[in-house]
Structure 1
Amino acid sequence: MKEFFYRPENAWVGDVIPYYEDGEFKLFYLHGWRSNYREGLEHGWHLLGTKDFVNYREDGACQIEGGTGHILKVDDIYHMFYCIFPEGKQFACHAISKDLRTWEPIPEDTFGPDGEIYELADWRDPFVFWNEEEGQYWMLIAALAKGSTNRKGCTGLLSSKDLKHWEYREPLYAPNLHVGAHECPDLFRMGDWWYLIYSSYTGRFGTFYRMSQSLNGPWITPQEEAFDGRAYYAAKSVSDGQKRYLFGWNPTKDDDLFGWNPPKASGKDYDTWDWGGNMIVHEIIQRPDGTLGVNVPKTVDSAFTEQLPTNFEGIAGDWSITDDVLLCESPYAFAGCITQEELPDQCKISTTVRFSGSTQGLGFMLRAGESLDFAYYITLEPQRSRITFRGPIMQSEEGGKTFPYDVELERPFKLLPEHEYELKVFIDGTICEIYVGGDVAMSARMYDIQHGKLALFVSQGAAEFKQVNIEMLGA
């Protein structure tokens, strides 16, 4: 079965460098090869074309061997800024093209950190834009600022009038939060706000954003700073003039790097998150207060049109089941119902949920068995204001002994009783993409259970599930 969420044959999508022109998204990305499931060192730039994030045209390699960067067009010339890593050092590089396909590197434009404002270490992922206020170009770069502790990760800043000669300036954003550099910086304006995006692999792992009403700051940290959870990284954005989209990757799990996967766990659910995986596109949503959320792009959502039967039967608790609504009141216990049909390997599941004020949990069980325990749980937890994802081992005594944490993945979300919330889940083999309320996303992977049914549950409360649909890709 061909995967719906894009990855190249026998390889993986690394960091995406999106560009939009003439009605098409030109998606440059780091083409990641792997040997014996280890991260490959050949990160060549490859190019995809798409208009809908469903159908892709592969344009192949771009003659550039290097790391993440940025594309901009000045007059009739395309400028690519990227990074290289010779002998353990890091440098920013420059290449030009007239057609986005044939690139001419400019070796004399290669440069590294200055050693005064910035440490002689991290120096990668350049992002370049025209600063209208200053009348010159700004480059943001993943760097380490000089400092008294190891928390030196920053978004470095340089300026230029000609895209060749760059002046080192104080960092745009250096909060002393992260030990590692602020990877894959991205910047855009939406309405009255500027937004700075970066990814970090130290402390909290993910893609984050900051907001400011001026390029000079201050850069405000919103109450929820991440676009997604642990299974989404290195995301960068681009606008088509109407909407803005975020391009990241859902990582695979092909290695047990630290030996933390329990020896008796023969599967891969608890292996180490890898570098690279499948490309995931979120639509960026701006809320009235200026904060950002994400939702599934409409073209992805509407690609699933072939509706499958969903015949539910109660397994635990007292369920009222009609064609349109499943309702259960179970104030003191767990209750669940399950479909008679198996879940397809590739599908979209959707519903609208509502719950009572005392409800402790409700949601989906994916690839569930009749006993309603061996499954992947997507749980809305109103009392804790979060959405969680748990794999099957967490339901066992052995899993409880092995793992010292409560859940595998979680996203904060204020859940109010007697309100309706839209829940959409996209399954693509091992990939699981979850969207709640139209502006919160959580990515996950599901390896060890490959077959099963859809089940609904409510724990210690009352819940209503309206219009539960399972849909496959249209012809």
Structure 2
Amino acid sequence: MKEFFYRPENAWVGDVIPYYEDGEFKLFYLHGWRDNYREGLDHGWHLLGTKDFVNYREDGACKIEGGTGHILKVDDVYHMFYCIFPEGKQFACHAVSKDLRTWEPIPEDTFGPDGEIYELADWRDPFVFWNEEEGQYWMLIAALAKGPTNRKGCTGLLSSKDLKHWEYREPLYAPNLHVGAHECPDLFRMGDWWYLIYSSYTGRFGTFYRMSRSLNGPWITPPEEAFDGRAYYAAKSVSDGQKRYLFGWNPTKEDDLFGWNPPKAPGKDYDTWDWGGNLVVHEIVQRPDGTLGVKAPETVDSAFARQVLAHFYGVAGEWSITDEVIRCDSPYSFAGCITQEELPDQCKISATVRFSGSAQGLGFMLRAGESLDFAYYITLEPERSRIAFRGPIMQSEEGGKTFPYDVELERPLKLLQDQEYELKVFIDGTICEVYVGGEVAMSARMYDIQQGKLALFVSQGTAEFHGVKIEALGAGQAPQ
């Protein structure tokens, strides 16, 4: 089965460097070969073309071997800024092109950190833009600022008149929060706000944003700083002139690197998160107060348009089941209902949910069995103001003995009684993408249960599920 969320054949999507031109998203990305890498095989930057995030054209390798960076066009010349890692050091590099395909590196433009403002260590992922206010180019870069503690991660800043000679400046953003550099910096303006995006793997793993009325700061941390959870990383954005999209990767799990996966576990759900995986695109939504949320792009949403039969019947608790509303009042216990039909390997599940009373939890169980125990749980938890993802091992004694935490993935979400929440879940083999309205996204992986049904549940409360639908890819919408 061809995966819907893009991945190259026998390889993986790493950091994406998006560029938009002539009605098409040109997606440069780091091509991860992993165990099938061999000397002489093209690797480094590859290029994809897409107009809809459903169908992709593979344009192949760009003959640039290096790390994440940025593309901009000046006077009909494309400029690529990227990074290299010779002998454990890190340098920013420059290349030019007339067609986005054939690139000519400019070796004399290569440079590293200064050792005065910035440590002689991390120096990667350059992002370059024209600063209209100053009348020169600015470069943001993942770096380490000089400082008294190891929390030196920062968004470094340089400026240039000609894209060749760069002046080192004090960091754009250095909050003393992260031990590691602020990876994959990205910057854009939307309305009255500037937004700074970066990713970090220390303290809290994910892609974050800050907001400011001015490029000179201060850079405000919003109430929820992340676009997604642990299973989404290195995301950068681009606009088509109307909407802005965020391009990141949902990581795979190929190795039990630290022994988290119990020895008796039959699968890979609790293996270590990898670098690289499948491309996932979110649409960025700006709220009235300037904070940002994300939702599924309309083209991805509409690709799943072929309704699949779903006949529910109650298993535990007293359920009222009609074509429009599925409801259960279970104030003191767990209640669940399940479909007669199996879930397709690729599908979208959607519903508008509402709860009342002091509901402990409600939501979807994916690939559930008749006994409503082992499944993948997507749970709205009002009393904890979050949506959570749990795998099947958490329902067993083995899970209780193994893990020092009660949830595998979570996203903060304020949940109020008698308010409707639009819940959408996209399943693509092992990939699971969850959206709540334009508020929250949560990426996950599902390896160990390959088949099962859709179940709805509520624990110690009252829940209503309106317009529950399972939809498969429509005709002509199979991923290319």
Sort the TM-score into its range (normalised by shorter chain). over 0.9
| Partners of 1:346 and 1:472 within 8 A in 2 | yes
Q: What displacement does 1:68 show?
A: 0.1
TM-score by length of 1: 0.99
| Partners of 1:5 and 1:428 within 8 A in 2 | yes
SS of residue matched to 1:399: helix
SS of residue matched to 2:43: strand
Deviates more, 1:28-37 or 1:104-113: 28-37
1:40/1:308 Cα in 2 relative to 1: closer, same or farther (>3 Å)?
farther
Count of aligned positions: 475
Q: What displacement does 1:37 show?
A: 10
| Partners of 2:391 and 2:408 within 8 A in 1 | yes
Q: What displacement does 1:36 show?
A: 7.1
Report the Cα distance in structure 1 between the residues aligned to 2:356 and 2:414, rounded to whole angstroms.
Answer: 14
Q: Deviations over 1:273-302 (max 9, x none)?
A: 000000000000000000000000000000
Report the Cα distance in structure 2 between the residues aligned to 1:145 and 1:323, rounded to whole angstroms.
Answer: 59
SS of residue matched to 1:219: coil
Q: Deviations over 1:131-152 (max 9, x none)?
A: 0000000000000000111100
Deviates more, 1:38-47 or 1:21-30: 38-47
Q: What displacement does 1:397 show?
A: 1.2
| Partners of 2:184 and 2:235 within 8 A in 1 | yes
Report the Cα distance in structure 2 between the residues aligned to 1:260 and 1:412, rounded to whole angstroms.
Answer: 25
1:312/1:427 Cα in 2 relative to 1: closer, same or farther (>3 Å)?
same
Q: What displacement does 1:63 show?
A: 1.0
SS of residue matched to 2:400: helix
Report the Cα distance in structure 1 between the residues aligned to 2:420 and 2:276, rounded to whole angstroms.
Answer: 35
1:459/1:301 Cα in 2 relative to 1: closer, same or farther (>3 Å)?
same
SS of residue matched to 1:170: strand
Q: Deviations over 1:42-71 (max 9, x none)?
A: 851000000000000000000100000000
1:467/1:367 Cα in 2 relative to 1: closer, same or farther (>3 Å)?
same
Report the Cα distance in structure 2 between the residues aligned to 1:251 and 1:431, rounded to whole angstroms.
Answer: 9
1:12/1:297 Cα in 2 relative to 1: closer, same or farther (>3 Å)?
same
1:207/1:38 Cα in 2 relative to 1: closer, same or farther (>3 Å)?
farther
SS of residue matched to 2:40: strand
1:37/1:86 Cα in 2 relative to 1: closer, same or farther (>3 Å)?
closer
RMSD of Structure 2 on Structure 1 (CA)? 1.5
Report the Cα distance in structure 2 between the residues aligned to 1:445 and 1:358, rounded to whole angstroms.
Answer: 30
Q: What displacement does 1:354 show?
A: 0.6
Gaps of 5+ in 1: none
Report the Cα distance in structure 1 between the residues aligned to 2:192 and 2:430, rounded to whole angstroms.
Answer: 40
Report the Cα distance in structure 1 between the residues aligned to 2:453 and 2:87, rounded to whole angstroms.
Answer: 51
SS of residue matched to 2:374: coil
| Partners of 1:33 and 1:40 within 8 A in 2 | no
Q: What displacement does 1:201 show?
A: 0.4
| Partners of 1:92 and 1:111 within 8 A in 2 | yes
Report the Cα distance in structure 2 between the residues aligned to 1:257 and 1:458, rounded to whole angstroms.
Answer: 36
Q: What displacement does 1:369 show?
A: 0.4
| Partners of 2:18 and 2:25 within 8 A in 1 | yes
| Partners of 2:42 and 2:63 within 8 A in 1 | no
TM-score by length of 2: 0.98
Q: What displacement does 1:38 show?
A: 13
Alignment partner of 1:442 is 2:442: yes
| Partners of 1:142 and 1:156 within 8 A in 2 | yes
Report the Cα distance in structure 2 between the residues aligned to 1:198 and 1:442, rounded to whole angstroms.
Answer: 18
1:40/1:141 Cα in 2 relative to 1: closer, same or farther (>3 Å)?
farther
Q: What displacement does 1:360 show?
A: 1.0
| Partners of 1:282 and 1:297 within 8 A in 2 | yes
Deviates more, 1:356-365 or 1:448-457: 356-365
Report the Cα distance in structure 1 between the residues aligned to 2:37 and 2:445, rounded to whole angstroms.
Answer: 17
Identical-residue share of aligned pairs (%): 90
Q: Deviations over 1:160-192 (max 9, x none)?
A: 000000000000000010000000000000000
| Partners of 1:32 and 1:40 within 8 A in 2 | no
Q: Deviations over 1:96-143 (max 9, x none)?
A: 000000000000000000000000000000000000000000000000
Report the Cα distance in structure 2 between the residues aligned to 1:382 and 1:358, rounded to whole angstroms.
Answer: 8
Q: What displacement does 1:414 show?
A: 0.5
SS of residue matched to 2:370: coil
1:291/1:13 Cα in 2 relative to 1: closer, same or farther (>3 Å)?
same
SS of residue matched to 2:398: helix
| Partners of 2:331 and 2:357 within 8 A in 1 | no
Q: What displacement does 1:40 show?
A: 13
SS of residue matched to 2:87: helix
Report the Cα distance in structure 2 between the residues aligned to 1:106 and 1:37, rounded to whole angstroms.
Answer: 27
| Partners of 1:328 and 1:463 within 8 A in 2 | yes
| Partners of 1:232 and 1:250 within 8 A in 2 | yes
Q: What displacement does 1:439 show?
A: 2.2
Q: Deviations over 1:321-357 (max 9, x none)?
A: 0111101000000000000000010000000001003
| Partners of 1:26 and 1:47 within 8 A in 2 | yes
Cross-structure match for 2:211: 211
Report the Cα distance in structure 2 between the residues aligned to 1:167 and 1:43, rounded to whole angstroms.
Answer: 32
Cross-structure match for 2:287: 287
| Partners of 2:283 and 2:296 within 8 A in 1 | yes
Report the Cα distance in structure 1 between the residues aligned to 2:417 and 2:288, rounded to whole angstroms.
Answer: 22
Report the Cα distance in structure 2 between the residues aligned to 1:173 and 1:30, rounded to whole angstroms.
Answer: 26
